[in-house]
Chains A and B, each alone.
Chain A
Amino acid sequence: MGWTGKVLRVDLTKGKCASEDLNKEWADQYMGQRGLASKYLSEEMDPKADPLSPDNKMIFATGPLTGTCASTGGRYSVITKGPLTGAIACSNSGGYWGAELKFAGWDMIILEGKSKKPVYLCITDDKAELLDASEIWGKSVWDTDAWIKTRHQDPQMHVSGIGIAGENGVLFSCIINDLHRAAGRSGVGAVMGSKNLKAIAVRGTGGVKVDDFPAFLAATSAAKEVLAENAVTGEGLPTFGTQVLMNVINEAGALPTRNTRDVQFDGAHDISAEAMAEPSGKNGKPNLLANQACFGCTIACGRISKVNEEHYTVQNKPEYWHASGGLEYEAAWALGAATGVNDLDALTYANFICNEQGIDPISFGATVGAAMEMYEDGTLTDKDTGGLKLKFGSAEALTTAVELTGKAEGFGAELGLGSKRLCDKYGKPELSMTVKGQEFPAYDPRGIQGMGLTYATSNRGACHLRSYTVSSEILGIPEKTDPLVTDGKADLVKAFQDATAAVDSSGLCVFTTFAWTLEDIAPQIDGALPGEWSVDKLLEVGERVWNLERQFNLQAGFTAKDDNLPKRLLKDAAKTGPAKGLVSGLKKMLPEYYAARGWTKEGVPTNETLNRLAL
């Protein structure tokens, strides 16, 4: 009934798979996916454990709406302790894999220990086994996907796994399912690699049931209408994808450029949604070929693109001439604006390699941006980079770097450490645009003040998907706030964080919230699950999840000092655009935020707060 009620526990050390009942009491308190898996992780492991040791656990978790007809109901998350940050990691992905796990009859998979040799987990309905992966260790995500489907003679299998980046311990390596959908951030791929687990292949032929079908169908149908009629989800995202933001954010003066030295990029248009739709190359076809939906999604923001066959990156490489996952906004920003590269085909190629080898393009691009700044100021020499000319704007440097990073070869091995460790190593920690070790994404906190607080307080390190106040501050959803002021942002960030934590625990995609409020979401969950699921209950679950993650991080050793931003954002004012002259007002917002959260001045949840949330 929404939940399948079954958890697959895989002991990689012993090579054993076992079925157990879902903890229904926790499920009622944490709903599913991000929340519920965070509860399991918190209960089962020591937050101080080394993320790349067998003591770390890893959970692949669906939500109660995963595998249903609710629009976007196909999400799953990977929850573990992240090696990039040392904080709790929760990376969320779409595609078809999550729904397939549900059809096979499982709410979640808990992976523990470490396999002695490379294995992959193969799940066919209630049968689960660990199989030898020696033939695919060293292969790309794409080759692994094809190999597994051929080996099992089942093209209907869905595969989630790592490329060579995860095997090589690249600290921002991700987990890719369905060829180009990513559980992208915090280095969850490296955790999988450290466990000698190459992939999880799933085939499910069972059905998913909900608690009250008539109520559920009425609620999901009404909610689909809301998505279809909304300008962002009904038109902007299907037509332009998330890339609809490139020119918008650039004009708002909030596009971090060349390692965040600037807030506007002169090449923004060249790498925008509009450029992706323009005819290019000899055949006159645009970069963008089609939009693709994830499972059950009636928005369909995914980009399917092609690299121009004449472009230097793919000349004489027909294996890259086909269509595949194209540029999303965050990737286009990181590979483009953060590095100053405005070559759309080079960005698309770099994005292909990120998908093929399992690399998070946000952290990768941002790390290259930091390396470019160190190269230009003379900190890094040709000797350090192995001759790689890391100049801002160099497409060749970017595309060579992405190939080297996956392989962990030459300077690629250093880039694979992420910008914090790289900048620390070369004595320039101030040049790392990170929070809690994770590179921040495509919004400059000087031009969108709420995002500064968002990054500083995100439980998984800098991230836009923990409280997307851009919605309010730039797009006016659900109501417009001034992006240049700090007033009211503490409450705004808290509200977005709690609501997002609830959405991330449901099986739905957070992009629905451009159109949906919790008023649209609650009836869908209420129809799917037993018991009462009101807006108030969702907010309570969201706040509980947020505080649980916070506690994990406090126990892991984080303190209020880690709720911070790079000095550049606090000291160097924006040079152009609407935010000209402004720095981030984090220092003013942070105490307000702690108060709004019911935390002490040291950022620790008070006993009263913990009791209120039954923590």
Chain B
Amino acid sequence: MLKALVIDPGKCTGCKQCELACSYVKEGEFNPAKSRIRVFDFHQDARFVPYTCTQCAEAWCQQACPVNAITTNEWGVKEVHDSLCVGCKVCTIACPFGTVNYNASTGKVIKCDECGGDPACAKACPTDAITYTDIEQAGFDKMRHWAAQTDAGSRAGH
């Protein structure tokens, strides 16, 4: 079963525990600036939105890499191999979503790799705004929510 990080911005409070967990796992320190997942604060709309790599099936970053440093693992996750990455940053240009970024202190690019199947951000999220679930059923809860509302009208008519 392939899994995905499913993000529900409606549940996000903007606490940034995901950024702290990610940067600790990847950098060994608390450093949101180097987190692979970032939370955006759309203050005037009262919305907080966590955002990270969605692991495209046909990934722009992977196709653009001139040295084949980005590979797909058995879970469909695109991984950067530091031993191959030359820091050319072409992938950061190719990615339409901005989720591949350059780390100046190492000279390599960094992106979400779902922590090898056990993403720290999802575990750290206190409100379940970030969950790690079956990729083919990612929309199930949302469908269920809307299904409940669709049914409510007809039941009320009885």
Residue of B27, B48, B126 near A224 (CB, 8 A) is B126
- Any chain B CB within 8 A of the CB of A208? yes
By secondary structure, the A interface counts as loop
- Given contacts A208-B29, A228-B126, whether A323 and B45 have CB atoms under 8 Å apart is yes
- What A residues does B127 contact at CB under 8 A? 300
How many chain A residues sit at the interface, stated as a range, is: 35 or more
Interface residues of B in 131-148 (CB under 8 A from A): none
CB pair B29 A292 closer than 8 Å: no
Query: Is B94 interfacial (CB 8 A cutoff)?
Result: no
Min CB gap B112→A, angstroms: 18
Let me know if A207 and B30 touch, CB within 8 A.
Answer: yes
Contact B44 A298 (CB under 8 A): no
Is B31 close to A, CB under 8 A?
yes
Interface check A63, CB cutoff 8 A: no
Contacts of A71 in B (CB 8 A): 17, 126
What is the number of contacts between chain A and chain B, taking CB atoms within 8 Å?
A: 85
- Chain B contact patch, size range: 20 to 34
Task: Give the interface segment out of B8-16, B50-58, B67-75, B78-86.
Answer: B8-16
Q: Return the contact of B13 from the options A156, A179, A228, A291 (Cβ within 8 A).
A: A291
Answer yes or no: A230 CB below 8 A from chain B CBs: no
Set B29, B44, B48: member contacting A207, Cβ < 8 A: B29
A152 CB to closest chain B CB (Å) equals 15
- At the interface, yes or no: A204 with Cβ under 8 Å from chain B? yes
- Contact: B46 with A304, CB < 8 Å? yes
- B45 with A293: CB separation less than 8 A: no
CA–CA, A298 and B24, complex, Å? 18
* A323, B44: Cβ atoms closer than 8 Å: yes
Interfacial residues of chain B within 21-72, with CB under 8 A of chain A in the complex:
21, 23-24, 27-34, 43-48
Is B77 at the interface (CB under 8 A from chain A)?
no
A residues in contact with B16, CB < 8 Å: 96, 293, 295-296
Check if A204 sits within 8 Å of B33, measured CB to CB.
yes
CB distance B13 to A300 under 8 Å?
Answer: yes
Minimal Cβ-Cβ distance residue in B for A306: B46
Contact B31 A297 (CB under 8 A): no
Chain B, residue nearest A102 (CB): B30
Q: List 21 A-B contacts (CB under 8 A).
A: A69-B21, A69-B124, A71-B17, A71-B126, A156-B33, A179-B43, A204-B33, A205-B33, A205-B34, A207-B23, A207-B29, A207-B34, A209-B30, A228-B126, A290-B48, A293-B15, A296-B15, A296-B17, A298-B17, A322-B43, A323-B43
Q: A residues touching B (Cβ–Cβ < 8 Å)?
A: 67-69, 71, 96, 99, 103, 156, 179, 204-209, 213, 217, 224, 228, 238, 289-298, 300, 304, 306, 322-324
Known contacts A208-B29, A323-B45; 9 further A-B pairs (Cβ under 8 A): A99-B32, A206-B31, A206-B33, A208-B30, A290-B13, A293-B14, A295-B15, A297-B13, A304-B46
